[in-house]
Amino acid sequence: MATYPLLKGYMGSNLIKARKKLGLNQQSIADALSLTRVQVANMESGASGMTVESVFILCDFLKITPNDLFPTKEQLKDYKPMSKEDRKRERLKVQIESLQEKLSSLTPNQNER
């Protein structure tokens, strides 16, 4: 039986595939859907889930169906979810990347504060 973390991880993997198929980056999805890049990264990593509304909005934007995000029974047999520690590492990595982006956009005057 699939657990919720398993579902989030699978949907995140499929979101990445759909995004890359269109040649999009996380920021382009974030901008189009009024999200932050970190929110998109968290959905892709399985660190956070998607609301029903966000599933339909994402599908419309990526030109896919909700079925393209959800796993089939056959796919669930072989799917190995991220461990709790791996999910923590992924969240930290996303947070570090976000901070690095913010720091790199600071002007020298802002950096001195």
**pLDDT band (50, 70, 90) for residue 30:** very high
Domain of residue 80: give its range.
Answer: 4-112
**pLDDT band (50, 70, 90) for residue 80:** low
Number of domains, the chain = 1
CB proximity list for 100: less than 8 A, separation 6 or greater: none
Higher pLDDT, 108 or 101: 101
The predicted model gives 18-35 an average pLDDT of 93
The model's pTM is 0.63
Q: What is the average pLDDT value for the chain, to the nearest integer?
A: 82
Give the separation between CA 107 and CA 90, rounded to whole angstroms.
Answer: 28
- Three state DSSP letters for 6-42: HHHHHHHHHHHHHHHHCCCCHHHHHHHHCCCHHHHHH
CB proximity list for 2: less than 8 A, separation 6 or greater: 71, 76
Find out whether 71 and 10 touch, Cβ atoms under 8 Å: yes
CATH no. for residue 57?
Answer: 1.10.260.40
DSSP code at position 49: -
pLDDT of residue 66: 92
